Amino acid sequence: MPPAASPSSVRPIYLMIALGIVVSGWAFFPGWMSNDSLIQYREARAGAFNSWHPILMAWWWRQLDHLYQGPAPFLFQNLIMYWCGIGLLTKAIGRNAGRLAYIVPIFGLWPALFFVLGEIWKDVAFACSMFMAWAIVINAYCWQRKTSTLEKGILVILLVFAAGVKTNGIVAIPFLIFFWLNNDGVGRGIRLVALTFTIFSASVLVPFTMTRSLEVKLDNPLQYTQVYDLLAISVKTRQNLLPRYINERINLSQDELEKTYVVGQNDRLFYGYTKDLVGLRAPSLDEATKLQDSWLKAIKDHPVSYLTHRWDNFLSLLRIGHSTAAFVASPAVVQNEFHIKFDSNGISDYLSVMPLTHPWIFYPWVYHLLTLIAAAASFLKKTHRSLAAAVLGSSFAFIAPHFFIVPASDFRYLYYSYFCSLIMVCLAVLSFNRLAVEEKRVYRTGITL
């Protein structure tokens, strides 16, 4: 067993992580706010919530707002989770990789991960909390120990938070829980599966229970996807299948509908004609039901058109066959009544042009391919296979539902999967480094290990 890391070897990690938080805070302060961010902050300030956006996120933002008004507390919360995750992963890899692990914090500045951190989005909060949770478990795994009581408590909080801020990402959580419990040796077989299901269910139910007593207006965010799918099928079949309330609001001919439809982009229809932040949401529960019925009927009657549209949209999301990046982030704060603003700086200016100058950095398929290659390397080298399988499963379980639900091709939608790619690459490097170390020992001692 390699010796424990000495204080001198751990100190550089602490320094790099502290520097990362400081640099990130300076570059992003007070946090970038899109229209989605502004809507949630308004809910947080008013204490009146809407299920169109994650209720837990707005509620928690309201609590943070008591400490310091604006997006800054939420920004630093995400930055702390992100850089602590980087630090723990560095420490974990360092057990066998030594000083080679110091390259991990440099990966933390990679634009595909770093750029989006400035935004106050549910995608960022989910990815950072899941990443830190993975880092805690991986650190315990690499040091061949169980998670401590403190670590268990932090893991539960992180998982509850992740489940609450991005409900369509909860399918990624069981893989983490399963590996965590398996590493802690709490059981095997049916007992391990049962415990995984129990903790997963609790992670999902706790946010729901916490927000039940709040004043919430019910709006199904799936409407955004439903309207987009109906537009696509209407264009492909050349018959207007949109519900009446939408047609009465936009009053577009068939030819105009066809011009409105763009693969990987729904904003043009949903928000472009209303010129507000409500868009084409159903004005009542009855209309929402009719919208859903129209959507389901259109899929049933025109499955080929639906699947063709979904496939084209998914390829656009992955940027397969595209030479440009989709929307990544915007270093800005939209106009607001709270007098919150962002002053650009050298780092934000540099990041803002990266999607134009180096679009390949923001192709999701690149990171998914890296994940697969790194997983294959771990399996072939027969090292860390259980961990590689868990991270791979979590990543692709997260990606898969987006085939059906994603309404556009924004880079942020698959943000968590890029963190999984970072973890997998680190594991692959660790696998090859471990084998190299063992080969040196065999060469020096003449003994097969």
- Spatial distance between the Cα atoms of 449 and 447, rounded to a whole number of angstroms: 6
Indicate the residue type of 327: F
Residue 220 has pLDDT above 80, yes or no: yes
Indicate the residue type of 408: A
Tokens standing for residue 94: 């360092």
Residue 442: pLDDT band with limits 50, 70, 90:
very low
Phi, psi for residue 378 in degrees, rounded to 5: -65, -40
Indicate the range of 21-30, 349-358, 433-442 predicted with least confidence: 433-442
Residue 296 has pLDDT above 90, yes or no: yes
Short-list 173, 7, 13, CA closest to 86: 13
Residues 36/121, Cβ–Cβ less than 8 Å: yes
**What's the Rg (C-alpha) of the chain?**
23
Q: What is the average per-residue pLDDT within 129-137? A: 99
Burial of 308 (0-12, 13-18, 19+ CB in 10 A): middle
Q: What is the average per-residue pLDDT within 148-169? A: 97
| pLDDT at 212 (0 to 100) | 85
The H or E element that residue 50 is part of is strand 49-50
Residue 208 has pLDDT above 50, yes or no: yes
pTM of the entire predicted model: 0.93
| pLDDT at 316 (0 to 100) | 97
| pLDDT at 433 (0 to 100) | 63
Residues 394/127, Cβ–Cβ less than 8 Å: no
- Spatial distance between the Cα atoms of 206 and 161, rounded to a whole number of angstroms: 9
Residue 49: pLDDT band with limits 50, 70, 90:
very high
Short-list 203, 205, 255, 204, CA closest to 234: 255
Q: How far is CA 202 from CA 197, 212, 244, in A?
A: 8, 15, 41
- Spatial distance between the Cα atoms of 329 and 118, rounded to a whole number of angstroms: 8
Q: What is the average per-residue pLDDT within 413-425? A: 97
Percentage of residues of the chain with pLDDT beyond 70: 94
Percentage of residues of the chain with pLDDT beyond 90: 82
Residue 301: pLDDT band with limits 50, 70, 90:
very high
Short-list 45, 65, 64, 59, CA closest to 211: 59
Residue 443: pLDDT band with limits 50, 70, 90:
very low
Tokens standing for residue 257: 């509908």
Q: What is the average per-residue pLDDT within 245-260? A: 92
| pLDDT at 155 (0 to 100) | 98
Residue 6 has pLDDT above 50, yes or no: no
| pLDDT at 102 (0 to 100) | 87
Residue 431: pLDDT band with limits 50, 70, 90:
confident
| pLDDT at 434 (0 to 100) | 57
Domain ranges of the chain: 7-217+340-360, 223-301
pLDDT in tens, 76-127: 999 999 999 999 999 999 888 778 888 899 999 999 999 999 999 999 999 9
The H or E element that residue 366 is part of is helix 364-381
pLDDT in tens, 310-365: 999 999 999 999 999 999 999 999 999 999 999 999 999 999 999 999 999 999 99
CB neighbour list of residue 332: distance below 8 Å, 6 or more residues apart = 32, 33, 342
- Spatial distance between the Cα atoms of 114 and 418, rounded to a whole number of angstroms: 11
Rounded to the nearest integer, the mean pLDDT of the chain is: 92
| H helix count then E strand count, the chain | 21, 2
Q: How many residues does the chain have?
A: 449
Phi, psi for residue 265 in degrees, rounded to 5: -155, 115
